[in-house]
């Protein structure tokens, strides 16, 4: 089992976990974390995809870096929103999902 | 220049409309001048064209929209018949409306949409292609709504709503029909009948049915007539517009176009859809008259009488024999003249005597002689009594029915005459032979209200008296039929 | 060329400037910027030659390494529409005190976010690189979420958060697809992908990207984030969000299905998209009928109108490509998109003015406003005409073209969807109109917006109508660089 | 394009009354409008007397107006013009009554129509004229505004319009069959069903049983001059219609004969039950018109002579009606005596007493009549005689109601008409029968004319002694009246549901709960993830 495949599988696993969390979790912060998990998983997979045929492919690197930046800014905005929402509502949850627990 | 004439005809109504919207309520002079000027200009243009077109001239303008969406304006004899009717009646109605509204509020809105309606009607008349017809047809629907709801009270809004409730679904079906047709034949121009053989027989019949529903709603064919009587909530000039100048006329005109220019007589006969339409029209004629008989409100009764009268035009188109066509086309004008007279008078009774119900007419004849004389003329014409315009139509429709081997239509014509008499003569009897109530009021001190009624009534009389002359509605209809449909 | 660069650079620079400059200076800058953008758009459209779309290789690097920007008719038309809507929204925002009133943060945040949005839109319209599109899309989402949240009210924040979730997941799914594509073909340039050698993962990639973009386009059943978001944003923001943002992700869908992988388009999937579109039309309209807040009526109408756009897939894509009717369907749907954008922006701006006057967007608060504010009411009516698809309007032209091709293709059910959708639209737009034009029982509001202010929505609505009256020019524009998949066989 | 071709006089004869009608509404003229009435028929009279001949055509009017006059029309036109002229003179005392102008106006319209039916040679013009005469005469009937006048008017208008419709449909059928509007061609081409419709139309006007029911109500209800023209001239419009259109040989011939005879005898008998002398006269009109219809149906020389017969009846009947008017203002014994004398003479003439105009007219139609028919004709003279004897009794018992100036002048008018009725047939005898002038004085024709009168003279005293039970006018009417009432007063009914109320079942279809379910992110996300494999599958199949 080559490193590339390992990378790919890891990525896939991360994505899967992330999606589960994204859907199952109700606390918004968990969801943001799940989102980042998915992002990281995709980037791992992309890195693996870039390693085809031995020689290094510059494009995936560029893409990954850009992607990370984008994901970071997205997370930042999301967290900011969550904080504002938690201040306004007292709980970091969407009103329609804020049942009991 | 000749290419510009159709556009000019449109602009004579569009420009007053556009400007009227932005005029302040109190700038009466300018607004009235605008609308009157537009109407006069239009009438002038038409008179100028009448003889040229009678000589065979055709004016045409093409405005390409998207591919397959060509706005084609074409003034042929049929177009001119309709446009001259609407133009003449527009002039009368404008005069009447100016007097009717006096200093009532929201006139800019009224005259704006009013002229817009006439603009759309002119467009319908001039449309040389199916799609341009549809565009103006819809424009008419929209510009009529604010007029019907003009009073803004509950009744008007309800009426306006039911109008749209009938209009929009039907026009949607019309669009479906057009698209269905044109997806098979390409853009349909009225001057060459398209070849529908790409479609199978049953879908041709379906398309025809869709067309009839689409345009028939405006022609108030039963059971699509419900909006017309409830639209009586609108002010009298609007009723005049709905019933004589624009809307129902557009519907009837549409039926004529569909039967003769879209499908063509031969195909209609071949598809066997003409007779069902004739039956539908006959049913409408009778049902409208029966309902009219039951009304106690003058305008309601007139409205149902329109329902029945307009279907005479449809009947003529459906029978599709030469005389029937002539009769139907002539009735397009005749009915307009007579019905607008009646509505003018009804409006005067309402305005000057506060009379809305038939019971209130007692003895008004002598208090308001001119109005009542016009009303009587209009009513007698509707019954079809000679020498008013109505009887010419009846004779031609009757002969046409026999040419089409549909003798049963004679029975319908006879019955409708009797019913017409049954719901109009009592009104006349009340006007002239009942004693007026002690507290009855009523005067005719506003000539601008009475003069249009008188003119229209005289026109209705003249149309019958001079029926055989080439420039009479009948003569013109004959010209059209010979030129267009007996080729 | 320079015009294209300007269209991307100007708003970005403006956004940065808006962050640093004082509020007053920004208010001065925005109109100038809008004028410049309009000018650039004009130059761009004028310079577009009928033969070949304008291409721009950034730094002269050829793909797959370099990134290509390409302006075809579709991009140009959407850029122009964006410029119009943005300018109108900007003017409205300048004249109305709404963003400032919502607090310092709003006043501070509005302009940068708006300009960022503008840049992102143009970027999405012209990019030909899947990853580039991802970036643009993400930028778009962040700006939009910010604009929704700007009001700062709890429901606004919740709406923004909900929107955020859909947007993030959407872009993640899209990104997953991008990754797969790159893994399979080693390129992300649409032009190169068009003539790739098909590979197994393509289908999965397309599925992932489509699903993600559906979530972002708010296609039924993923529409739920849209009405609260657009309903709670300040009116100018709602105008941009509703008119422009869904179009961006829709454009990417078009690029994928018609330019990148037309060979992958199977009829079943195409029909699925159209079926969801149909459901959106029906559901959105019915929901709109139930709303008691005007803004929600308008927002749900966006849900319904987005549904129309997806009818293009079975009519112009896949097996029905290279058919005489596909060109009509393609152009028709773009007409619908443009007309909807203009009309919807007009509606939201009108509603904003009424809210400013009445202090609420409840329907019953609008009674009789037509007497006091005839121009805005007329604008709303004109916009309604377009949305219902009545002639003469861009909406009608689009519907006509779509219906014709539907009948020609023998798929008449889509034509019925268009027809029925028009009726439903008439039904839910009639209520506000009837209320507006009813007689006012209370005396008219004391302070009215200026005539110039009222003229803004009227201009937009007028543009939507003009799109139908003079539809030949846009038609030709849209047919520039029309993808082969949507080219008529003749 | 010629506006008018041919002699102008026929057109003038029609336009002139219309002009006067228009004139009579002018404020300046209004109060003396009645004064115009005698002038109205003059051009028509001139046309009848002068030899003006030939076809007048005005192609632009109506559907192309064609007017012409041949002997039958001419003699009826002349009679009509004279009768209207004298009736117009008799109407002068009405000048100061209310609504005189209205009466004058419609009088002129009716007159124009009445003259028109004799002149018209194209279907459209004939229809116009016929409609004018039958509908405008309604105003003559209801002029007094009394309850029974209105009742009579309502019955009349309903039946008249039914007649118009029948006529219109018949004419349409005829015109279609002939492919032309010319009456001659229509008459040649018309088929039996269409002719049936026409007969209905004409029969109503001519008081043909059973379509006569309006007549005994309407004629008495009108003011005296109105009754005179109604009974003398207007009924002839129906007759001329039959003469113009009924083919020489028609399947309807026997039916018409039967109905005519039924009217001739039945009306005469029923008339004996009437108290009002005008009603008696009306029934006599029904009876006489029945005779004429029967004679028309007989065809041949008889049919040729019917106008001659009709002329005499018109003049005499006019005289009798006017006489009733005079009797109403006759107070002195002399005046009453003169009235009775004049009445008896005229009645005798109608009954066909020897050497009277009536005898001549009967003799004229008898030639070419089968024996059984001519015997029936003589028998009908008995009935006519008895009916008119009864009329004389009623007239003698008539209570003078009002007084009026110028009794002599007013007496001279019926006298003049009576004189014409007695003498005009003599003047026209040879032209119309081709027999020598002395023929009526021959023994057998005298005997032929004498015995019915003798019978009448014998029976009349019994009639005076034991009169028949009095009945209200109008016989088989009650049903029709109810019909008329219903039509004339449309009862208000609750208007039906006009427009369905606008209710989309959105509340049922689009519940917020479902929307909320969509809204819950966990659901939406699941659906989104499930969508991916779905699309994938669809892409791969």
Task: Identify whether the C-beta of residue C391 lies closer than 8 Å to the C-beta of residue B123.
Answer: no
Chains contacting C (3+ CB pairs below 8 angstroms) = A, B, D
- Alpha carbon D521 to its chain centroid, in Å, reads 89
CB spacing of D525 vs A26 below 8 angstroms: no
The token pair that represents D32 in the structure block = 């003396």
**DSSP E strand stretches across B43-83:** 59-64, 70-75
Chain C residues in contact with A42 (beta carbon < 8 A): 172, 175-176, 179
Chains contacting B (3+ CB pairs below 8 angstroms) = C, D
Residue D524: closest CA among chain A residues belongs to which residue? A23
Which 8-state DSSP code applies to residue D60?
A: T
Per-residue pLDDT of D480-496, as tens digits, reads 556 666 666 654 444 44
Per-residue pLDDT of D143-173, as tens digits, reads 888 888 888 888 888 888 899 889 989 998 9
CA distance A81 to chain D (A): 17
- Predicted confidence band at A54 (pLDDT cuts at 50, 70, 90)? low
Is the Cβ of D538 closer than 8 Å to some Cβ of chain C?
Answer: yes
Residue with tokens 């509005």: C110
- Cα–Cα distances in Å, from C94 out to C88, C153, D166, D262? 10, 21, 78, 98
Which 8-state DSSP code applies to residue C62?
A: P
What is B205-234 written as a DSSP string? HHHHHHHHHHHHTTTT-TTS-THHHHGGGS
Task: Identify whether the C-beta of residue B465 lies closer than 8 Å to the C-beta of residue B374.
Answer: no
The token pair that represents D396 in the structure block = 């003698």
Q: What is the pLDDT of residue D495?
A: 45
C135, C142, C157 ranked by CB distance to A85: nearest: C157
Interchain touch A–D (≥3 Cβ pairs closer than 8 Å): yes
**Percent composition of chain C: helix, strand, coil (DSSP 3-state, to 5):** 80, 5, 20
- Predicted confidence band at B138 (pLDDT cuts at 50, 70, 90)? very high
What average pLDDT does this structure show over A61-66? 88
CB spacing of C145 vs A81 below 8 angstroms: yes
Residue A67: closest CA among chain C residues belongs to which residue? C135
A31, A42, A77 ranked by CB distance to C145: nearest: A77
C419 Cβ contact list (under 8 Å, min separation 6)? B172, B173, B175, B176, C403
CB spacing of D524 vs C223 below 8 angstroms: no
Identify any residues that bridge with D444 across adjacent strands, giving them in sequence order: none
Q: What is the pLDDT of residue D501?
A: 41
CA C126/CA A38 separation, integer angstroms: 28
Choose the mutation target among C157, C162, C177, C233 for the interface with A, i.e. most A CBs under 10 Å: C157
Helices (H), C186-225: 190-194, 201-217
CA C243/CA C237 separation, integer angstroms: 10
Which 8-state DSSP code applies to residue D5?
A: B
Residue with tokens 């002598």: B366
Domain total in chain C: 1
The token pair that represents C401 in the structure block = 């073209």
User: What is chain A's alpha carbon radius of gyration, rounded to the nearest angstrom?
Assistant: 17
CB spacing of B291 vs D166 below 8 angstroms: no
The token pair that represents D308 in the structure block = 């001659």
Evaluate if residue D397 carries a pLDDT over 90.
no
Is the Cβ of D60 closer than 8 Å to some Cβ of chain B?
Answer: yes
Per-residue pLDDT of D297-311, as tens digits, reads 988 888 989 999 999
**Domain covering A3-91, topology:** Helix Hairpins (1.10.287)
CA D158/CA D489 separation, integer angstroms: 12
Per-residue pLDDT of D405-438, as tens digits, reads 788 989 999 999 999 999 999 999 988 888 888 8
Q: Classify B135 as helix, strand or coil.
A: helix
C408 part of a folded domain: yes
- Predicted confidence band at B240 (pLDDT cuts at 50, 70, 90)? confident
Task: Identify whether the C-beta of residue B296 lies closer than 8 Å to the C-beta of residue B355.
Answer: no
D519, D526, D529 ranked by CB distance to A96: nearest: D519
Which 8-state DSSP code applies to residue D442?
A: S
Q: What is the Cβ-side half-sphere exposure of residue C1, based on CA atoms within 13 angstroms?
A: 5
Residue ranges of domains in chain A: 3-91
Q: What is the pLDDT of residue C333?
A: 94
Per-residue pLDDT of D66-89, as tens digits, reads 999 888 899 999 999 999 999 999
What average pLDDT does this structure show over D328-337? 88
Chain B residues in contact with C378 (beta carbon < 8 A): 21
C402 part of a folded domain: yes
Instruction: Give me the torsion for CA of D223, D228, D234, D235, rounded to 10°.
Output: 110
Chains contacting D (3+ CB pairs below 8 angstroms) = A, B, C
Chain B residues in contact with C408 (beta carbon < 8 A): 183-184
CA B12/CA C90 separation, integer angstroms: 38
Q: Classify B466 as helix, strand or coil.
A: coil
Q: What is the pLDDT of residue D93?
A: 86
Per-residue pLDDT of D356-389, as tens digits, reads 999 999 989 888 788 888 889 999 999 999 999 9
Is the Cβ of D507 closer than 8 Å to some Cβ of chain C?
Answer: yes
C122 part of a folded domain: no
Identify any residues that bridge with B74 across adjacent strands, giving them in sequence order: B60
Based on the number of CB atoms within 10 Å of its own CB, is D463 exposed (0-12), middle (13-18) or buried (19 or more)?
middle
Chain D residues in contact with C172 (beta carbon < 8 A): none
Comparing C-alpha atoms, which of B232, B256, B348, B258 is closest to residue B310?
B256
CB spacing of C207 vs D539 below 8 angstroms: yes
> How many CB atoms lie under 10 A from the CB of residue B445?
7
Q: What is the pLDDT of residue D389?
A: 93
Q: Classify C127 as helix, strand or coil.
A: strand
CA D291/CA C148 separation, integer angstroms: 100
Evaluate if residue D199 carries a pLDDT over 50.
yes
- Predicted confidence band at B122 (pLDDT cuts at 50, 70, 90)? very high
Residue ranges of domains in chain D: 248-486
Quick one: what percent of chain B has pLDDT higher than 70?
A: 99
Q: What is the pLDDT of residue D135?
A: 87
Is the Cβ of A92 closer than 8 Å to some Cβ of chain C?
Answer: no
Query: Which of 250-269 (B) contact D at CB < 8 A?
Result: none
- Predicted confidence band at B68 (pLDDT cuts at 50, 70, 90)? low
Q: Classify C69 as helix, strand or coil.
A: strand
The question of ipTM being above 0.85 is answered as no
- Cα–Cα distances in Å, from B176 out to B169, B197, C179? 11, 18, 45
Q: What is the pLDDT of residue D240?
A: 94
Is the Cβ of C200 closer than 8 Å to some Cβ of chain B?
Answer: no
CA distance C68 to chain A (A): 15
For chain A, the distance separating the N- and C-terminal CA atoms, rounded to the nearest angstrom, is: 44
CB spacing of A45 vs C183 below 8 angstroms: yes
**Mean pLDDT per 10-residue run, chain C (490 residues)?**
88 92 86 94 84 73 78 93 95 70 60 94 93 93 92 88 92 93 88 86 92 93 91 92 95 92 87 95 93 94 96 79 76 94 96 89 87 88 92 88 87 90 91 85 76 91 90 85 64
Q: What is the pLDDT of residue D62?
A: 82
Q: What is the pLDDT of residue D515?
A: 79
Is the Cβ of C138 closer than 8 Å to some Cβ of chain A?
Answer: yes
φ, ψ dihedrals at C117, nearest 5°: -55, -50
Task: Identify whether the C-beta of residue C388 lies closer than 8 Å to the C-beta of residue C395.
Answer: yes
For chain D, the distance separating the N- and C-terminal CA atoms, rounded to the nearest angstrom, is: 80
Domain span at C400: 279-485
Residue with tokens 């049915």: B209
- Predicted confidence band at B67 (pLDDT cuts at 50, 70, 90)? low
Query: Which of 348-407 (C) contact B at CB < 8 A?
Result: 371, 374, 378, 385, 388, 390-392, 396-397, 399-401, 403-407
CB spacing of C169 vs A22 below 8 angstroms: yes
Could you tell me the sign of the dihedral formed by the alpha carbons of D246, D252, D255, D258, in that order? positive
Choose the mutation target among D24, D145, D498 for the interface with B, i.e. most B CBs under 10 Å: D498
More confident residue, D470 or D259: D259
Element (H, E) at C136: helix C130-149
Is the Cβ of D186 closer than 8 Å to some Cβ of chain B?
Answer: no
User: What is chain C's alpha carbon radius of gyration, rounded to the nearest angstrom?
Assistant: 21
- Cα–Cα distances in Å, from B351 out to B102, B441, B446, B447? 11, 11, 10, 13
């Amino acid at each position: 089992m080559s490193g590339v495949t390992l990378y790919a599988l890891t990525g896939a696993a991360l994505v899967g976990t992330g999606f589960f969390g994204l859907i199952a979790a109700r606390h918004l912060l968990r969801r943001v974390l799940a989102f980042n998990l998915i992002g990281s998983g995709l980037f791992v997979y992309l890195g693996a995809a870039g390693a085809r045929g031995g020689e290094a492919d510059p494009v995936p690197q560029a893409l990954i870096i850009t992607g990370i930046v984008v994901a970071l800014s997205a997370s930042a905005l999301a967290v900011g929103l969550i904080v504002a929402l938690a201040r306004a509502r007292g709980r970091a949850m969407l009103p329609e999902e804020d049942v009991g627990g | 220049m000749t290419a510009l004439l159709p556009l000019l005809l449109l602009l004579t109504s569009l420009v007053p409309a556009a400007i009227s919207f932005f005029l302040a309520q109190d700038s009466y002079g300018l607004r009235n001048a605008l609308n009157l000027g537009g109407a006069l200009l239009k009438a002038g243009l038409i008179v100028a064209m009448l003889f040229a077109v009678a000589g065979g001239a055709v004016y045409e303008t093409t405005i390409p929209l998207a591919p397959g969406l060509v706005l084609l304006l074409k003034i042929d004899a049929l177009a001119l018949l309709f446009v001259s009717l609407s133009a003449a009646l527009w002039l009368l109605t404008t005069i009447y409306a100016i007097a009717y509204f006096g200093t009532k509020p929201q006139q800019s809105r009224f005259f704006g949409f009013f002229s817009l309606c006439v603009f759309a009607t002119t467009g319908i008349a001039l449309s040389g292609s199916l799609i341009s017809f549809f565009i103006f047809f819809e424009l008419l629907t929209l510009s009529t709504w604010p007029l019907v709801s003009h009073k803004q009270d509950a009744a008007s809004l309800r009426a306006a709503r039911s109008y749209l409730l009938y209009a929009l679904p039907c026009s949607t079906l019309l669009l479906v029909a057009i698209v269905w047709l044109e997806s098979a034949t390409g853009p349909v121009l009225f001057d060459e009948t398209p070849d529908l053989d790409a479609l199978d027989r049953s879908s041709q019949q379906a398309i025809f049915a869709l067309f009839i529903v689409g345009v028939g709603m405006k022609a108030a064919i039963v059971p699509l007539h419900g909006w017309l009587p409830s639209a009586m909530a609108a002010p009298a000039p609007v009723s005049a517009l709905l019933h004589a100048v624009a809307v129902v006329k557009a519907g009837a005109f549409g039926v004529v176009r569909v039967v003769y220019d879209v499908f063509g007589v031969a195909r209609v006969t071949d598809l066997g859809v003409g007779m069902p339409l004739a039956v539908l029209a006959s049913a409408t004629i009778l049902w409208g008259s029966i309902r009219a008989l039951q009304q106690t409100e003058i305008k309601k009764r007139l409205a149902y009488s329109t329902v029945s009268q307009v279907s005479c035009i449809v009947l003529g188109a459906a029978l599709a024999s030469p005389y029937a066509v002539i009769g139907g086309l002539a009735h397009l004008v005749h009915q307009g003249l007579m019905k607008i007279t009646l509505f003018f008078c009804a409006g005067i009774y309402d305005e000057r005597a506060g009379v809305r119900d038939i019971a209130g007419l007692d003895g008004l004849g002598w208090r308001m002689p001119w109005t009542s004389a016009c009303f009587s003329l209009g009513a007698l014409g509707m019954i079809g009594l000679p020498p008013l315009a109505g009887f010419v139509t009846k004779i031609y429709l009757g002969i046409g029915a026999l040419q089409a081997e549909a003798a049963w239509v004679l029975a319908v014509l006879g019955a409708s005459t009797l019913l017409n008499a049954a719901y109009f003569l009592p009104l006349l009897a009340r006007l002239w032979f009942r004693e007026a109530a002690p507290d009855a009021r009523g005067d005719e001190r506003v000539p601008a209200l009475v003069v249009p009624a008188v003119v229209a009534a005289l026109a209705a009389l003249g149309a019958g008296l001079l029926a055989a002359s080439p420039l009479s509605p009948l003569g013109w209809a004959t010209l059209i039929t010979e030129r267009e449909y007996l080729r | 060329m320079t015009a294209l660069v300007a269209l991307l650079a100007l708003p970005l620079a403006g956004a940065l400037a808006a962050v640093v400059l004082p509020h007053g200076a920004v208010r001065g800058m925005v109109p100038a910027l809008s004028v410049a953008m309009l000018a650039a758009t004009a130059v761009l459209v004028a310079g577009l030659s009928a033969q070949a779309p304008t291409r721009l290789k950034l730094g002269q690097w050829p793909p797959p390494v370099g990134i290509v920007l390409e302006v075809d008719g579709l991009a140009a038309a959407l850029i122009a529409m964006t410029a119009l809507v943005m300018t109108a929204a900007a003017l409205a925002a300048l004249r109305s005190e709404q963003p400032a009133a919502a607090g310092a943060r709003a006043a501070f945040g509005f302009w940068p976010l708006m300009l960022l949005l503008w840049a992102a839109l143009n970027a999405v319209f012209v990019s030909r690189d899947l990853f580039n599109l991802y970036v643009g899309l993400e930028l778009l989402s962040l700006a939009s979420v910010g604009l929704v949240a700007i009001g700062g009210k709890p429901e606004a924040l919740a709406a923004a958060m909900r929107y955020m979730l859909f947007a993030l997941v959407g872009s993640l799914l899209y990104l997953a697809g991008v990754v797969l594509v790159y893994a399979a073909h080693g390129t992300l340039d649409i032009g190169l992908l068009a003539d790739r050698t098909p590979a197994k993962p393509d289908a999965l990639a397309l599925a992932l990207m489509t699903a993600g973009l559906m979530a972002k386009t708010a296609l039924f059943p993923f529409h739920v984030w849209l009405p609260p978001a657009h309903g709670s944003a300040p009116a100018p923001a709602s105008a941009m969000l509703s008119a422009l943002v869904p179009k961006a992700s829709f454009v990417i869908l078009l690029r994928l299905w018609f330019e990148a992988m037309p060979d992958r388009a199977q009829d079943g999937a195409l029909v699925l998209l159209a079926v969801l579109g149909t459901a959106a039309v029906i559901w959105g309209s019915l929901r709109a009928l139930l709303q008691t807040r005007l803004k929600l009526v308008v927002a749900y109408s966006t849900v319904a109108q987005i549904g129309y756009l997806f009818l293009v897939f079975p009519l112009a894509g896949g097996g029905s490509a290279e058919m005489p009717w596909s060109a009509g369907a393609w152009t028709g749907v773009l007409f619908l998109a443009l007309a909807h954008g203009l009309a919807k922006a007009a509606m939201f701006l009108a509603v904003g003015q009424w809210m400013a006057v009445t202090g609420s967007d409840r329907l019953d608060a609008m009674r009789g406003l037509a007497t006091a504010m005839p121009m805005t009411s007329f604008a709303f009516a004109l916009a309604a005409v377009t949305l219902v698809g009545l002639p003469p309007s861009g909406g009608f032209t689009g519907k006509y073209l779509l219906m014709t091709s539907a009948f020609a293709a023998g798929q008449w059910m889509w034509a019925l969807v268009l027809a029925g959708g028009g009726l439903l639209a008439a039904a839910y737009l009639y209520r506000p109109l009837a209320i507006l034009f009813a007689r006012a029982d209370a005396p008219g509001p004391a302070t009215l917006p200026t005539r110039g202010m009222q003229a803004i929505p009227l201009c937009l609505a007028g543009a939507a109508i003009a799109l139908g009256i003079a539809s030949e020019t846009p038609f030709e524009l849209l047919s520039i660089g029309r993808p082969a998949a949507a080219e008529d066989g003749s | 394009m010629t506006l008018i071709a041919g002699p102008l006089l026929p057109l003038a004869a029609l336009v002139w009354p219309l002009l006067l009608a228009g004139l009579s509404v002018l404020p300046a003229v209004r109060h003396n409008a009645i004064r115009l009435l005698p002038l109205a028929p003059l051009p028509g009279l001139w046309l009848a007397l002068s030899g003006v001949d030939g076809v007048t055509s005005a192609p632009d009017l109506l559907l192309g107006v064609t007017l012409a006059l041949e002997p039958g029309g001419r003699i009826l036109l002349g009679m009509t013009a004279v009768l209207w002229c004298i009736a117009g003179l008799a109407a002068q005392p009405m000048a100061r009554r209310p609504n005189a102008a209205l009466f004058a106006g419609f009088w002129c319209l009716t007159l124009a129509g009445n003259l028109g039916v004799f002149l018209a040679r194209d279907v459209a013009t004939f229809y116009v004229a016929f409609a004018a005469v039958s509908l405008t005469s309604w105003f003559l009937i209801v002029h007094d505004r009394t309850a029974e006048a209105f009742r009579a008017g309502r019955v009349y208008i309903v039946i008249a319009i039914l007649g118009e419709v029948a006529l219109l449909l018949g004419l349409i059928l005829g015109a279609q069959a002939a492919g032309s509007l010319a009456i001659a061609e229509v008459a040649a081409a018309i088929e039996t069903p269409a002719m049936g419709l026409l007969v209905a139309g004409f029969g109503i006007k001519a008081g043909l049983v059973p379509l006569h029911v309006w007549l005994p109500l309407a004629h008495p209800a009108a003011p005296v001059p109105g009754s005179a023209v109604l009974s003398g001239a207007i009924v002839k419009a129906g007759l001329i219609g039959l003469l113009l259109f009924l083919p020489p040989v028609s399947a309807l011939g026997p039916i018409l004969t039967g109905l005519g005879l039924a009217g001739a005898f039945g009306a005469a008998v029923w008339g004996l039950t009437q108290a009002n002398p005008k009603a008696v006269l009306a029934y006599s009109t029904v009876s006489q018109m029945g005779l004429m219809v029967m004679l028309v149906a007989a065809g041949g020389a008889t049919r040729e002579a019917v106008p001659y017969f009709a002329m005499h009846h018109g003049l005499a009947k006019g005289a009798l009606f006017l006489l009733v008017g005079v009797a109403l203002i006759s107070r002195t014994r002399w005046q009453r005596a003169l009235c009775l004398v004049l009445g008896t003479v005229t009645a005798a003439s109608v009954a066909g007493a020897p050497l009277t105009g009536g005898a001549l007219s009967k003799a004229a139609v008898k030639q070419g009549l089968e024996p059984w028919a001519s015997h029936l004709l003589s028998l009908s003279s008995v009935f006519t005689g008895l009916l008119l004897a009864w009329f004389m009794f009623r007239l003698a018992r008539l209570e003078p109601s009002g007084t009026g100036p110028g009794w002599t002048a007013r007496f001279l008018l019926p006298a003049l008409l009576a004189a014409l009725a007695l003498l005009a047939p003599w003047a026209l005898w040879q032209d119309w029968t081709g027999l020598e002038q002395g023929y009526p004085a021959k023994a057998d024709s005298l005997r032929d004319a004498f015995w019915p009168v003798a019978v009448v003279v014998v029976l009349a005293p019994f009639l005076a002694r034991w009169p028949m039970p009095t009945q209200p006018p109008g016989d088989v009417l009650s049903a029709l009246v109810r019909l008329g009432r219903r039509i004339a007063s449309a009862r208000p009914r609750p208007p039906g549901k006009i427009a369905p109320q606008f209710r989309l079942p959105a509340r049922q279809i689009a519940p917020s709960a479902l929307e909320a379910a969509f809204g819950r992110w966990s659901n939406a996300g699941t659906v989104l993830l499930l969508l991916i494999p779905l699309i994938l599958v669809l892409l791969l199949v």
